[in-house]
Amino acid sequence: MPRHCIVFPAVAAALVALASLTCRAEPPADLPLEPIFNGQDLAGWTPAEGTFWRVEDGVLVGENDAAQAGSMLHTARAYGDVVVEADCRFSGEIDSGIMLRKPELQIQIGVSRSLKRDMTCSFYNGKYPEEARATRAAELLKPNDWNRIRVEAKGDTFTVWLNGEQVSRYTNPKYAEAAPIGLQIHKGLPMKVEFRNIRALAL
């Protein structure tokens, strides 16, 4: 074989890994995601007590009560490996998130109570692991407008895209058990968050 045609195994492996990362820069848009919010009511969801969640003009609205007690809204169905996508809109200082698996793993939306800064699309598991922070999210986030968040949970790897750009990835085998998808209203602050076009596909 001519010298210039030789590809050493280690180099080949590195090229394959690089190609894989490059291919994942865009979300898998061809997957046939199915609506899990019908735009009319909370059918298919398990609401907590109170008036935290309502539907207005096809939009799911989560808003804290006067006591700022906070609330969680969960799908009736449990998901393991899944792709979930939603358009999200908020303004001001909110603290929300998308929850997956058991034990619970959160994809943050809005300002962290502990860090006092916006951590949208970063992973939270009781803390914010440095390697799982969405450091580019601020560049892509559209304030006071709709932002598309897409999350893929596959095996022990979790990937998030914001408005079509991959912004974070987290690998941890701890979060292995299927669980309902959750949406959060954090307690302790006045806040309002809106969701629409909520879709998912079990993998």
Place of tokens 């993998």: 203
pLDDT of residue 27: 60
Place of tokens 């009736």: 76
pTM of the model: 0.85
pLDDT digits (tens, 9 = 90+) for 92-118: 889 999 999 999 999 999 999 999 999
- Residue type for 158, please? F
pLDDT of residue 26: 58
Q: Please tell me the distance from the alpha carbon of residue 176 to that of residue 186, in angstroms, as a whole number.
A: 24
**Which domains can be identified in the chain, with CATH numbers?**
28-202 (2.60.120.560)
Q: How far is CA 100 from CA 30, 74, 104, 125, 183, in A?
A: 22, 10, 6, 11, 9
Q: Please tell me the distance from the alpha carbon of residue 200 to that of residue 34, in angstroms, as a whole number.
A: 5
Distance from first CA to last CA of the chain, Å, rounded?
A: 43
Residues of the chain below pLDDT 70: 1-29, 48-49
pLDDT of residue 28: 62
pLDDT of residue 92: 86
pLDDT of residue 23: 43
